[in-house]
């Protein structure tokens, strides 16, 4: 199965280092963040991957490319652990790359993957600057797809003071941890933010999108019709709301936690959480 990993953003919250080192290449343990994202996708069966990059972020391409000279050096020096680590980075998945010319937002980045996805009935999107603690939701999302044949988004609880930073979902629980969504809003004010309702009818805390999505290729037509929204960017959430109206959309909650490394505080929190 295929996945798109957008990693072209400017990373302004990580300046000045993001001028020279993409935030997706910052280390979590002995590996860059995006290594963990590719490993998560591949482990869930999404091992044909398109990474969206931008000019200046070529070290991402270099990281996943074989380096025969380095490998033969490590081999000759008997450094078998280092050799295995280097080879593992390049053999997890089949990776292609596409450039985003102007950083017009996450929706624009995903749109670039249309040709790569082709006629596949479903594909994953994983944000390149977010790793998952405890477990990946992709397995549960793929299982929901097999049963319901609807696009699915991963959701996690979000404190009221943070809803205006994320895409937020409203909907009704139809099975344990699976919600039929009825409204998606990007960065709403708390008093306009939709809510989930449990199967027993109680209102749940706010839930935001947690950086993992399963889409049908119809998302591309929705993205083509999406004009710039919040902050002048092509918002993926706006296209998702169109797709939801057309085909329906599910949200799932899972026992893990999203670790967003898009800011210095987020990277420190992720390093602590993963014990690296
Ligand atoms: P973010 O919105 O967190 O990334 O996007 P950003 O724009 O780089 O961050 P700031 O706000 O300037 O600090 C989440 C993911 O989507 C990618 C980013 O690289 C990141 O992995 N992205 C974002 C793109 O590929 N293209 C875009 O136009 C925007």
pLDDT for 276 equals: 56
Looking at residue 36, its pLDDT comes to 97
What are the residue ranges in the chain where pLDDT is below 50?
none
pLDDT for position 232:
84
* Same-domain check for residues 81 and 185: no
- Please give the number of the atom of ligand 1 that sits closest to the Cα of 7: 19
- Are 91 and 127 contained in the same domain? yes
Examine the domain organization and report whether 115 and 61 are in the same domain.
yes
Q: Domain count of the chain? A: 2
What is the CA(11)–ligand 1 centre distance, in A?
Answer: 6
- Please report, for the domain that includes residue 16, its CATH number: 3.90.550.10
The binding-site residues of ligand 1, defined as CB within 6 angstroms of any ligand atom, are 6-13, 24, 52, 100, 103-106, 108-109, 127-129, 262
> Which residue's C-alpha comes closest to atom 4 of ligand 1?
9
Do 84 and 208 reside in the same domain of the chain? no
CA-proximal residue: ligand 1, atom 26 (nearest): 9
pLDDT computed for residue 112 by the predictor: 98
Residue nearest to atom 3 of ligand 1 (CA): 262
pLDDT of residue 230: 75
* DSSP sequence for the chain: -EEEEE-----GGGTTGGGTS-GGGSEETTEEHHHHHHHHHHHTT--EEEEEE-TT-HHHHHHHS--HHHHHHHHHTT-HHHHHHHHHHHHSSEEEEEE-SS---HHHHHHTTHHHHTT-S-EEEE-TTEEEES--SHHHHHHHHHHH-S-EEEEEE--GGGGGGSEEEEEEEEETTEEEEEEEEES--GGG---EE-TTSPBPPPEEEEEEEEE-THHHHHHHTPPP-GGGS--HHHHHHHHHHHH--EEEE-SSEEEE-SSHHHHHHHHHHTT-
Q: What does the pLDDT read at residue 99?
A: 98
pTM here is: 0.96
pLDDT at 275: 82
State which residues form the domain around 205. 135-255
Determine the atom of ligand 1 nearest the C-alpha atom of 104: 28
């Amino acid at each position: 199965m295929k996945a798109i990993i957008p990693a072209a953003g400017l990373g302004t919250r990580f300046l000045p280092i993001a001028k020279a080192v993409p935030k997706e290449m910052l280390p979590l343990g002995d590996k860059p963040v995006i290594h963990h994202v590719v490993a998560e996708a591949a482990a869930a069966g999404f091992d044909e991957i398109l990474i969206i990059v931008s000019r200046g972020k070529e070290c991402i391409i270099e990281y996943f490319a074989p380096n025969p000279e380095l490998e033969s050096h490590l081999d000759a020096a008997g450094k078998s652990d280092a050799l295995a680590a280097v080879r593992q980075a390049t053999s997890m998945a089949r990776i292609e790359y596409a450039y985003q010319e102007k950083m017009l937002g996450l929706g624009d980045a995903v749109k670039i993957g249309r040709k790569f996805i082709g006629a596949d009935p479903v594909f994953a999107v994983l944000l390149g600057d977010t790793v998952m603690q405890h477990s990946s939701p992709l397995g549960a999302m793929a299982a929901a797809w097999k049963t319901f044949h609807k696009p699915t988004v991963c959701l996690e609880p979000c404190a009221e003071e943070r809803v205006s930073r994320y895409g937020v979902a409203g909907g009704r629980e139809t099975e344990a941890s699976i919600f039929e969504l009825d409204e998606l809003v990007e960065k709403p004010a708390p008093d306009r933010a939709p809510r989930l309702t449990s199967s027993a009818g109680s209102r749940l805390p706010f839930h935001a999108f947690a950086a993992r999505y399963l889409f049908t290729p119809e998302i591309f037509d929705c993205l083509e019709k999406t004009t710039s929204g919040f902050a002048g960017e092509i918002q993926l959430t706006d296209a998702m709301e169109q797709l939801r109206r057309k085909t329906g959309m599910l949200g799932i909650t899972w026992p893990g936690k999203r670790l967003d490394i898009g800011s210095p505080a987020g990277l420190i929190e992720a390093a602590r959480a993963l014990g690296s």
